Every structure is written in C-alpha cells, then in structure tokens.
Amino acid sequence: MTRLIVWRHGNTDWNAANRVQGQTDVELNALGRQQAVDAAEILVKLKPDAIVASDLKRASDTAAALGALTGLSIGYDKRLRERWFGAWQGLTMPEVAERHPEQHARWTAGQEVGGDVETLEDLGKRVADGLRDAAAEAPAGGTVVVATHGAAARQGIGHLLGWPVEQLRTLRALQNCHWVELTRDDKRGWQLAAYNVGPFSDRPVPPPV
C-alpha cells in the first residue's frame, strides 16, 4: 500500500492579510518557517521515501524543512502550483468582491469563476497528475510527502478520489502546514485516510488561495 501525504505550505504575510496568492511567488514568514519545522518533526516519523514540492517558494521552503531532517533531496513539479487566480492575485478578498462582484459571487457559491481564473477541472487534473507521478517515486508500500497549496491540494485529491465539487465543498480548508493522508492499493485504489492533520489545530484557517 502506497501512502501519499499532501502537505499545505506554511503561513505567509499574504495568508495573514487574507490576500489572494495564486501563483504569485510569496515567501514564508517567520511563523510559516516555524510551522514548517514543527510539522517536519512529525512527518519525519512517517519515514518518507521521497519528497516532492511545488516550485513556488512557500511550498519548496516548507519541503526543505523536512528534507533537512530526512536527508532526502526534493523533486519539484510545476503542476503542484496553486490555482491561477489571474486578476485576483494580490488583492484582498474584500477587494475581489468590490472589483469583480460577479466572479466573487460564483466563487462563494462554489461555481466556476470565469474570466482568467483557472477552472476547477483544469486545476484538479493537473495537480492529480502531479500527485500520481509523485506517488510513483516511492517503492511498493512506501511513503511520499508532497508540499503544495490549499486549493491545489483539495482539488487535486478530489480528482484522485473521483469526488464531485459538491462533496469537496464539505471539507474545511487545510490549515497552514497541515496535510492530507491518502493510501492506494490495487484493489481499492485511492482512499482518504486522514484530513487536516498537523500541529496548530487551534489557529485560524487562512483561505486556500
């Protein structure tokens, strides 16, 4: 049975300000760097066989904290990047609501946003493809840790599991430096073993953007 850990990056100043990051390359802040270290001290106990990360700094630097403890080199995959939010990137959510009210209303309702925002279908497919290839890095029965982003993680695992958008909306957003555990075997395919696992469970949840 292969185990896949899908790990959201640590906190950034844009998370703290409720600002849409998308594929803007925002770095971890001091809290995020500490979160990465604390989470890595838990994840290292899972004895990962491989670590793969989005190439955006907030994810790759999060992965580096685990790499430092395991001695594993980190693979990078652009398919694991966050959703492309187009003109929303850099705006706070109140600013999005003011400047793009129709798009914001569709986003709030869980619908496709339109405009230059990446579709949920495209996001789910590209991230799931990256997750499958990452999982293949482990030997049979091994464990792979993937450092990625909030919206990317949720949509990617949903695509792997074959869940409709409506079912995915029942999952709370991943907290910074929390993760999802998936397992796969030949008989049952992909299964969700755990969700939103990690330290800092009492902290507010920044939106997965």
Query: Which residue in the list 82, 104, 118, 159 is annotated as catalytic?
Result: 82
Say which residues have a Cβ less than 8 Å from residue 13's Cβ, sequence separation at least 6. 26, 29
Contact in structure between 75 and 52 (CB atoms under 8 Å): yes
Q: Tell me which DSSP letter residue 26 carries.
A: P
Does residue 207 form part of some domain? no
SS3 state at 206:
coil
Q: Predicted confidence band at 151 (pLDDT cuts at 50, 70, 90)?
A: very high
**Residue 166 appears among annotated catalytic residues:** no
Full-model pTM: 0.93
Residue 191 lies in a domain: yes
The answer to whether residue 176 sits within a structural domain is yes
Range 140-164 average pLDDT = 96
The CATH number covering residue 156 comes to 3.40.50.1240
pLDDT at 204: 47
Binding site per annotation, positions for substrate: 8-15, 58
- Flag whether 130 is in a domain: yes
Strands lying side by side in the sheet with 179-185: 74-76, 50-53, 143-148, 2-8, 179-185, 189-197
Nearest residue to 120 (alpha-carbon basis) of 150, 83, 93, 153:
83
Q: Are 146 and 131 in contact (CB under 8 A)?
A: yes
Structure tokens at 30: 């001091």
Binding residues: 8-15, 58
**Residue 205 belongs to a domain:** no
Q: Is residue 42 part of a domain?
A: yes
What band does 208 get if pLDDT is binned at 50, 70 and 90? Answer: low
pLDDT for 202 equals: 43
pLDDT over 90 for what percent of the chain? 87
For 72-87, the pLDDT digits (tens) are 999 999 999 999 999 9
Q: Residue 110: its pLDDT value, please?
A: 86
Provide the residue range defining the domain that includes 103.
2-197
Q: What are phi and psi of 33, to 5 degrees?
A: -65, -40
Structural domain contains residue 183: yes
pLDDT beyond 60 at 152:
yes
Whether 208 maps to a domain, the answer reads no
Number of domains making up the chain: 1
